């Protein structure tokens, strides 16, 4: 069994990349240093202790964070991550990227992110519920449907959101469906939310392939990550006729030069919990997957997997970022020099927050849409954003990432300007 490679060890982290992307956008837009500092600074940060009584009676104290980066365009929006790698700088970076993502998709939100430093695999369901409810109660003063609306992320799911919603509702004295998104449909969740990020990634991949003149049936792909985002993305690519040659998860990867049978692979994962051991494929480690001979690469797991050490070996012609921050700034420069088209995360994986917005709207008006309506509205948003970013990139001779960031930063800065500074 081959473990998935971790991001390259370096002194830089995601927050450094986020700040550099913002600084580059401010230079292009002609903003002064004061405006840049205002856009870089989080509006609010909360760090909390989470005492947990383990099932065996032992007491453990965990640490949680919630960062609200910007609130100028509306209440904050962002996921909650349970991971042993969570730290405050990571949460700050992810919150900033959420601000740009929401603005790029023209959603009435600012950006936020939350995290608890915990490995969910080492805890029982009852323990995870206690952690979730205590974390929620600690950040209760700063969250709510008109303040900050959490959603699932790495290590959390619709069950986690149900616990959060119930904790807020009990404290409020009535059911507050709009306090989180990504809930079970039976508790006010939206149809189509579970697959929204994956479907958005696929829709953007199709738009990029069309732009490059690449026929789907002649395109090969590799997907790094087979969880919330990667699994659905692989399925949608496969259904479109693209041959997915390789996928990986936290335990290893599989490769078949003739193309993987994605439905069979999904059944295997449902039965075993991993892609490892799938018949009709050979093992591949994560490092080899990222540099495999494919046309399309979808990094859909964690930050920083494409870095200075491997970007020069990437063979894909197109990279569509399913994860947040999978490509470092140094890797971006190398890939651009080599002519690799990179579709940035704030565009490519925005389907989740778009349908989260739809869920919030439905909860607030107590009227739910059909799955077909949700998917049609999602396609409209994703396609519109793609064309806006492409036009900005061509007009200003920028990369897609720089163009997307400029569009988003301009919208947030304009909201700041229109609202003014207080006092």
| Contacts for 90 with CB less than 8 Å, ≥ 6 apart | 13, 14, 15, 115, 303
Question: Pairing state of beta strands 282-284 and 252-255?
Answer: antiparallel
What is the structure's pLDDT at 121?
94
| pLDDT at position 5 over 60 | no
pLDDT band at 312; cut points 50, 70, 90: very high
What is the structure's pLDDT at 7?
46
Distance CA 269, CA 247 (A): 12
- pLDDT tens digit sequence for 192-236: 998 999 999 999 999 999 999 999 999 999 999 999 899 999 999
- Name the nearest CA neighbour of 104 among 333, 289, 348: 348
**Average pLDDT, whole number, for the chain?**
94
What is the structure's pLDDT at 1?
38
What is the structure's pLDDT at 176?
94
The string of DSSP codes covering 201-246 is HHHHHHHHHHHHT--GGG-EEEEE--STTHHHHHHHHHHTT-EEEE
| pLDDT at position 73 over 60 | yes
- pLDDT tens digit sequence for 272-291: 999 999 998 999 998 899 99
The catalytic residues are 113
pLDDT band at 10; cut points 50, 70, 90: very low
The tokens describing 5, both together, are: 């490679």
- pLDDT tens digit sequence for 388-411: 999 999 999 999 999 999 999 999
- DSSP letter for 144, please: B
Which domains, and CATH codes, for the chain?
Answer: 40-175 (3.40.50.10860), 196-348 (3.40.50.720)
What is the structure's pLDDT at 2?
42
pLDDT band at 29; cut points 50, 70, 90: very high
Q: Specify whether the CB–CB gap between 75 and 148 falls below 8 A.
A: yes
């Amino acid at each position: 069994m081959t473990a998935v490679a971790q991001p390259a060890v370096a002194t830089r982290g995601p927050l450094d990349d986020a700040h550099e992307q913002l600084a580059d956008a401010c230079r292009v837009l002609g903003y002064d240093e004061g405006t840049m500092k205002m856009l870089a600074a989080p509006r609010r940060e909360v760090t909390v202790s989470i005492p947990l009584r383990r099932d065996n009676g032992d007491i453990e104290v965990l640490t949680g964070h919630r960062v609200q980066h910007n609130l100028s365009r509306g209440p904050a929006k962002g996921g909650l991550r349970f991971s042993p790698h969570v730290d405050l700088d990571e949460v700050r970076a992810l919150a900033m990227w959420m601000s740009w993502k929401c603005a790029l998709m023209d959603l009435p939100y600012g950006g936020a992110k939350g995290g608890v430093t915990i490995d969910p695999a080492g805890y029982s369901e009852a323990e995870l519920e206690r952690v979730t409810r205590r974390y929620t109660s600690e950040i209760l003063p700063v969250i709510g449907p008109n303040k900050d609306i959490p959603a699932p992320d790495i290590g959390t799911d619709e069950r986690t959101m149900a616990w959060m919603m119930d904790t807020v509702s009990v404290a409020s004295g009535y059911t507050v469906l709009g306090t989180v998104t990504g809930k079970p449909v039976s508790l006010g969740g939206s149809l189509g939310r579970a697959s929204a990020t994956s479907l958005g990634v696929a829709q953007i991949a199709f738009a990029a392939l069309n732009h490059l003149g690449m026929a789907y049936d002649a395109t090969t792909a590799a997907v790094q990550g087979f969880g919330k985002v990667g699994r659905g993305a692989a399925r949608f690519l496969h259904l479109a006729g693209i041959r997915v040659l390789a996928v990986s998860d936290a335990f290893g990867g599989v490769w078949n030069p003739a193309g993987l049978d994605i439905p069979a692979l999904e059944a295997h994962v449902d039965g075993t919990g991993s892609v490892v051991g799938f018949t009709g494929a050979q093992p591949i480690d994560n490092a080899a997957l990222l540099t495999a001979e494919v046309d399309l690469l979808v990094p859909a797991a964690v930050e920083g997997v494409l870095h200075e050490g491997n970007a020069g070996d990437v063979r894909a012609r197109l990279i569509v970022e399913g994860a947040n921050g999978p490509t470092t700034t140094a890797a971006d420069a190398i890939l651009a020099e080599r002519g690799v088209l990179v579709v940035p995360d704030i565009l490519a994986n925005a389907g989740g927050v778009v349908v989260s917005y739809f869920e919030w709207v439905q909860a607030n008006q107590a009227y739910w849409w059909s799955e077909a309506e949700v998917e049609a509205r999602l396609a409209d948003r994703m396609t519109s954003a793609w064309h806006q970013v492409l036009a900005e990139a061509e007009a200003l001779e920028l990369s897609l990432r720089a163009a997307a960031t400029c569009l988003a930063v301009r919208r947030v800065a304009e909201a700041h300007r229109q609202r003014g500074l207080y006092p």
